[in-house]
Amino acid sequence: MNTRLKDQIAIVTGAADGIGRAIAELFCQEGASVCVADINEVAGTEVVNKLNEQGFNAIFVKTDVSCIDSVKNMVEQTVTQLGKPSVLINNAGIIYQNKSFLETPTEQWDKSFAVNLDGMWHCCKQVIPYMKEAGFGTIVNVGSVHSFKIVPNHFPYAVTKHAIIGLTKNLAVELGENNIRVNALCPGMVETPAAFKWFDESEDPEAARKELGDIHPLRRNASCEEIAYPALFLASKESSFMTGQSLIIDGGRSVVYHL
């Protein structure tokens, strides 16, 4: 086992699958005790059972990040069972695809902000007092390339992801004097279970996968593990003088001018 997060207590939201799961697994391998926080109880419990079978220290707490009481309970359970959190990975999020501005129902707008933005604020509000008390901490807010670029028909996902950058910068400035670092991790196209579900719904899944991969200079999509390692960098002492920044991991897609 490596030790870049030895003795750290980490909360990872949206960790039942995809990027969050990869982060939780890697953090355990690097010595952290991890709370897997997710609304999916079956998948989240499965993740934690596998981690515990491997000798790691992990717990699952069913969490709806859009509900402040649910988040408060999750953090309390983390403190009771693992210890006071020193690392927070705000990863939970939702996306509504193929929606233009005028086609977006009010309830989808509200739900997008409730999960993607309010959820991060709820977690920060509950965790930051413990970090202040300890005199250190790291927060990683998972944004997206949508935090900087607009892809048509992904409204209001990009709006929420833009807002995450503002939240990250504001918290970084406010919490710097407490030795609490706050950064954003911004992935591009990642082959999550949700992405494979989308591929499978197309007429030719492999062609759909290749088409998305080919828009990147690296000519492929990212694996979940390729996002987990940058998250580890931001959470560890290796990035100790980095705060208020956005780390874009997108295979070079955002630097390409043409579609």
Q: Which residues are identified as catalytic? A: 157
Q: Euclidean distance between the first and final Cα of the chain, in Å?
A: 43
Helices 157-175 and 106-113 cross at an angle (nearest 10°) of 30
Answer whether 36's CB lies under 8 Å from 47's CB: yes
DSSP state of 115: I
Between the alpha carbon of residue 244 and those of residues 79, 180, 240, the distances in Å are 26, 11, 12
DSSP code of residue 222:
B
Report residue 55 as tokens.
Answer: 């000798």
Q: Are strands 9-13 and 180-187 parallel, antiparallel or unpaired?
A: unpaired
- Cβ contact 19:193 at 8 Å: no
DSSP 3-state of 244: coil
Q: Which amino acid is at 124?
A: C
> In a 3-state reduction of DSSP, which class is residue 185?
strand
Cα–Cα dist 157/123, whole Å: 20
